[in-house]
């Protein structure tokens, strides 16, 4: 088996990369000493789930991040938060949800689970995200009733809310934001916004997600939906299920939040080193501001005049794992072929030229040098 095949196999089954290879990611969760004080509180409380004190503490600390009054509810994962939010926003089942194909499969799965049909629109070829002017024009001749709009923040990039607030006000169609990887920059949620708390993200509960909104009633509705529709009685007041975070997960999340300032500094310094090491490879384009103004847990670059899949193979043969995190986009995946899709030339171009490089909080100088040397050798 070639090195590139070995790396692919390992990535597919989710186990560490073969010995000697630089992995594309190496998640680092809080270890026992950091979690232990919270677990001791949990043992003393004997309150294990159902909105216990640790979940309340986690949500209240998350709420403090926002510059304006904002409510936060945690969920078992980010995908679930998207589905519940769409339902709580009153998006009529059977309707279309306008969204990019250029996102992770979870976004489209969440839309289907809410009873809506993804309508894949093309993104702007430069910014890589949906453009509100384009969307407004497409909404005027949509292939069916549009129940919701779901823009996605690109690989942790800051999300620009203003045009989306205007679009919602103009069209009356509810907008929900998928900012799964944007924990670092999420300081306001003027539209309901989901952030993932998965182990590969910046702050994590292992599996988990949060929904933030300035609409406290919406967050309360979602909270009820995470709890079988119960609130204050054992009568199901609204449809729902079980999407509550346990106290164990909250303990991990609190420890992860404690470590966030040092984690951020570690990621930013490595991002800056990686950028500097690749300054002589101008065909590698980092996301604007990545590592300088904001940080994410992945390093997604655009490769000018190169093919990302070919690079993935060539770098793997040099022992450097990379990943096309969003593959060819949702529209190209079997689960979504029955969805509505516009022509998607910009999405297809981005899929051909976007590649995730190795990046993690404890990436060593040697690993950064190995990645940059392998890339510069291909220049
Ligand atoms: C863009 C996007 N949306 C949704 C999700 C789903 O989040 P979770 O894994 O917490 O369900 C992810 C996860 O990486 C994502 O990248």
pLDDT above 80 (res 185) = yes
What local confidence, expressed as pLDDT, does residue 312 receive?
A: 97
Q: How many domains does the chain have?
A: 2
pLDDT over 90, % of the chain: 94
Do residue 373 and residue 276 come from a single domain? yes
78 within ligand 1 shell (Cβ under 6 A)? yes
Is residue 110 within a helix (H) or strand (E), and if so which, with residue range?
helix 105-113
pLDDT over 70, % of the chain: 95
Question: What whole-number distance in Å separates Cα of residue 288 and Cα of residue 8?
Answer: 29
| Mean pLDDT along residues 45-59 | 98
Do residue 217 and residue 303 come from a single domain? no
Q: What is the DSSP letter of 194?
A: E
pLDDT confidence bin for 359, thresholds 50/70/90: very high
On whether the CB atoms of residues 84 and 243 are closer than 8 A, the answer is: yes
Give the residue, out of 79, 112, 205, with the most ligand 1 atoms within 8 A of its beta carbon, to mutate for a pocket test: 79
Question: What whole-number distance in Å separates Cα of residue 336 and Cα of residue 120?
Answer: 10
pLDDT confidence bin for 379, thresholds 50/70/90: confident
On whether the CB atoms of residues 340 and 143 are closer than 8 A, the answer is: yes
Locate 358 and state its tokens.
Answer: 């190795």
Give the residue, out of 73, 198, 202, 356, with the most ligand 1 atoms within 8 A of its beta carbon, to mutate for a pocket test: 198
Going by alpha carbons, the residue nearest to atom 8 of ligand 1 is 78
Q: Pick from 204, 229, 254: which residue ends a domain?
A: 254
Question: What whole-number distance in Å separates Cα of residue 76 and Cα of residue 60?
Answer: 17
Q: Pick from 207, 232, 254: which residue ends a domain?
A: 254
Q: Ligand 1 centre from 105 Cα, in Å?
A: 8
Do residue 194 and residue 264 come from a single domain? no
pLDDT above 90 (res 2) = no
The arrangement of strands across the sheet holding 354-357 comes to 284-286, 299-303, 354-357
What local confidence, expressed as pLDDT, does residue 154 receive?
A: 98
Please name every residue paired with 177 in a beta bridge, in sequence order, or none if there are none: 193
| Mean pLDDT along residues 194-209 | 98
| Mean pLDDT along residues 206-222 | 98
Which atom of ligand 1 lies at the shortest distance from residue 80's CA?
11
pLDDT above 50 (res 284) = yes
What local confidence, expressed as pLDDT, does residue 5 receive?
A: 57
| CB-neighbour burial class of residue 15 (10 A; exposed 0-12, middle 13-18, buried 19+) | exposed
pLDDT above 80 (res 211) = yes
pLDDT confidence bin for 14, thresholds 50/70/90: very low
pLDDT in tens, 308-331: 999 999 999 999 999 999 999 999
104 within ligand 1 shell (Cβ under 6 A)? yes
157 within ligand 1 shell (Cβ under 6 A)? no
pLDDT in tens, 60-71: 999 999 999 999
Do residue 45 and residue 123 come from a single domain? yes
Do residue 109 and residue 229 come from a single domain? yes
Q: Ligand 1 centre from 127 Cα, in Å?
A: 20
Question: What whole-number distance in Å separates Cα of residue 343 and Cα of residue 215?
Answer: 35
Q: Ligand 1 centre from 3 Cα, in Å?
A: 29
Do residue 240 and residue 289 come from a single domain? no
Nearest by Cα to 347 from 102, 38, 6, 31 = 102
| CB-neighbour burial class of residue 230 (10 A; exposed 0-12, middle 13-18, buried 19+) | middle
Q: Ligand 1 centre from 104 Cα, in Å?
A: 7
Do residue 145 and residue 21 come from a single domain? no
Sign of CA dihedral 123, 126, 132, 136: negative
pLDDT above 90 (res 9) = no
213 within ligand 1 shell (Cβ under 6 A)? no
Q: Ligand 1 centre from 285 Cα, in Å?
A: 24
Do residue 86 and residue 154 come from a single domain? yes
For 37, residues 6+ apart whose C-beta sits below 8 A from its C-beta are none
Scanning the structure block, which residue is given the tokens 């994962």? 77
Which atom of ligand 1 lies at the shortest distance from residue 197's CA?
10
Report the 10 Å Cβ neighbour count for 369.
14
Range of the domain at 274: 3-28+260-377
What local confidence, expressed as pLDDT, does residue 8 receive?
A: 53
Looking at every residue in the chain, the average pLDDT score rounds to 95
Q: For residue 205, what is the domain's CATH number?
A: 3.40.640.10
243 within ligand 1 shell (Cβ under 6 A)? no
Q: Pick from 234, 254, 274: which residue ends a domain?
A: 254
What's the pTM value of the predicted model, to 2 decimals? 0.95
Do residue 304 and residue 159 come from a single domain? no
pLDDT in tens, 128-143: 999 999 999 999 999 9
Q: For residue 268, what is the domain's CATH number?
A: 3.90.1150.10
Nearest by Cα to 136 from 173, 105, 100, 104 = 173
Q: H helices within 119-246, ranges in order?
A: 132-139, 162-171, 216-225
pLDDT above 50 (res 13) = no
209 within ligand 1 shell (Cβ under 6 A)? yes
Do residue 51 and residue 147 come from a single domain? yes
């Amino acid at each position: 088996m070639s090195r590139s095949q070995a790396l692919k196999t390992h990535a597919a089954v989710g186990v560490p990369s073969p010995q000697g290879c630089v992995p594309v990611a190496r998640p680092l969760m809080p270890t026992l000493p950091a979690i232990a004080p919270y677990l001791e509180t949990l043992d003393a409380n004997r309150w294990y789930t159902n909105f216990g004190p640790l979940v309340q503490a986690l949500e209240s600390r998350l709420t403090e991040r926002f510059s304006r009054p904002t409510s936060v509810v945690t969920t078992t994962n980010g995908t679930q938060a998207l589905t519940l939010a769409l339902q709580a926003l009153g998006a009529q089942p059977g309707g279309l949800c306008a969204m990019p194909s250029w996102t992770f499969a979870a976004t489209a799965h969440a839309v289907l689970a809410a009873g809506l049909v993804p309508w894949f629109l093309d993104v702007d070829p430069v910014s890589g995200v949906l453009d509100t002017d384009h969307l407004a024009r497409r909404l005027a001749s949509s292939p069916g009733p549009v129940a919701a709009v779901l823009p996605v923040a690109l690989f942790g990039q800051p999300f620009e809310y203003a045009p989306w607030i205007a679009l919602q006000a103009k069209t009356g169609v509810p907008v929900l934001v998928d900012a799964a990887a944007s924990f670092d920059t999420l300081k306001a949620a003027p539209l309901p916004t989901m952030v993932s708390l998965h182990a590969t993200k910046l702050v994590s509960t292992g599996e988990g997600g949060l929904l933030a909104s300035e609409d406290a009633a919406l967050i309360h509705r979602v909270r009820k939906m995470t709890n079988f529709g119960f609130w204050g009685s054992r009568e199901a007041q609204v449809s729902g299920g079980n999407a509550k975070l346990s106290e164990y997960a909250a303990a991990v999340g609190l420890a992860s939040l404690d470590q966030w300032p040092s984690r951020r500094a570690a990621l930013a310094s490595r991002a800056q080193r990686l950028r500097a090491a690749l300054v002589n490879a101008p065909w590698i384009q980092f996301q604007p501001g990545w590592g300088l103004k904001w940080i994410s847990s992945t390093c997604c670059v655009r490769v000018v005049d190169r093919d990302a899949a070919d690079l993935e193979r060539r770098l793997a043969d040099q022992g450097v794992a990379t990943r096309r995190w969003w593959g060819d986009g949702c529209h190209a995946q079997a689960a979504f072929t029955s969805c509505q899709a516009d022509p998607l030339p910009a999405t297809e171009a981005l899929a051909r030229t976007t590649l995730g490089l190795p990046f993690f909080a404890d990436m060593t100088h040697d690993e950064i040098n190995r990645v940059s040397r392998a890339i510069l050798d291909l220049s």
